[in-house]
Amino acid sequence: MAEVNKEQLLNCALCPNMCRCECPVVQVLGREATAPAGKARLALMLEQGHLAWNEEILEAVSNCLGCRGCATLCPFPELNLGDELLNTRLKSKEAGIGLPACNPYLGTLKKFGSPYGQKTGTWPAANKGAEVLLFAGCTSTANNPASIGAACHLLDKAGVTFQLIDEDCCGYPAAVWGDEDLARQLAAENKRKMTESGASLLVTNCPECWLTFTEHYPEWNQEIPIQIIDGPSYYLQLIREGRLELKENELTAVSYHDPCIWARVAKKVTEPREILRAIPGLNIEEPYSSGEATRCCGGGSMFQLSFPQTAAAVARRRLAEFPKDTAIVTACPFCREGLLQEGRPVLELVELLAISVK
């Protein structure tokens, strides 16, 4: 288990908390205990033994999307509050405390390898041994398998021989729900299957999977011996190499929603926009906040399952930032899910590319 950094938590606990205006959770809940410094104070008091775990405190320190919105205004560059709160929550299991809303999902995850239940989209190990491994991700598999079909279509069009494996959930949901043992088990199983696949390049369209593979698997001693690339960078590479030729589609205007992890951690801000500009006849209009200053859609840290009402309220707040007459394009299965709620057209980048490829 990664240790909680008490010095960083103390900095945050004593801070004037100006970043609260960028924390989507406190903005929709209005409770100071869910503001960044409020959560840091609770985490520090738990760590110092001044507070004992109970469900109310666990709920407060779980009210973090991991979106890093607070980091955009934070004077402490070393502080990753989302990770400190995650490391704090991992100790709740030892204390025998769990969030009632999350326990059924943890049970399902243990049983089926996906928090959504039986994996209906268990993909065939097609092209076994192929160099490129497409990691489907449990959220896309459960909620939008069409996006996986779109990715397969693109790779076929580009002449890429690829494989899918009988993957398990990356493990991130187990970690955010406080069960690091389960997260490590899922990571070990995925690492074994990925290594046995013989692939040398892993492509993922899910920023939470990417973050888990690149940051958390090494922390859990499960580093994957395969190069990992984010979907937007990979598809852009195929376009630049002339392997994907694009044409007009029925859409005329789109706005791109930057997923927090792609924009603020992976710094993938220009790549998706270059892809959009490569599609003929498409006007691109920016939402009020974009790029690294994006605002979370409410889908981070499994909020759509753990805190669905908060997730929906955060998504509505974000939706108000988009120009009215555009289709919204994003590059994350959680963002798509959150932004869909007002009935606007929302597509994943791979889906847009699949309808734009010649």
Minimum CB separation of residue 265 from ligand SF4 in Å reads 11
- Distance, in Å, from the CA atom of 154 to the CA atom of 134, rounded to the nearest integer, reads 12
How near is the Cβ of 27 to ligand SF4 at its closest, in Å? Answer: 9
Q: How far is the CB of 314 from ligand SF4 (least distance, A)?
A: 9
Toward ligand SF4, which CB reaches closer, 163 or 212? 212
| Nearest CB to ligand SF4, comparing residues 15 and 188 | 15
Question: Is residue 311 near ligand SF4 by the rule CB under 6 A?
Answer: no
Does 40 bind ligand SF4 (CB under 6 A)? Our answer is: yes
Given the rule CB under 6 A, which of 36-44, 206-214, 266-274, 333-341 is the region that contacts ligand SF4?
36-44
> Binding mask 60-79 vs ligand SF4 (x if CB under 6 A, - otherwise)?
----xxxxxxx--xx-x--x
For ligand SF4, the closer of residues 62 and 140 by Cβ is 62
Shortest Å distance, C-beta 291 to ligand SF4? 16
CB 76, min distance to ligand SF4, A: 5
Rounded to a whole number of angstroms, the minimum distance from the CB of residue 35 to ligand SF4 is 7
* 11 in contact with ligand SF4 (CB under 6 A): yes
Choice between 222 and 301, CB closer to ligand SF4: 301
- Closer CB to ligand SF4, residue 64 or residue 209? 64
175 binds ligand SF4 (CB under 6 A): no
- In the complex, which residues of this chain contact ligand SF4 (CB under 6 A)? 11-12, 15, 17-19, 22-25, 36-37, 40, 64-70, 73-74, 76, 79, 81-82
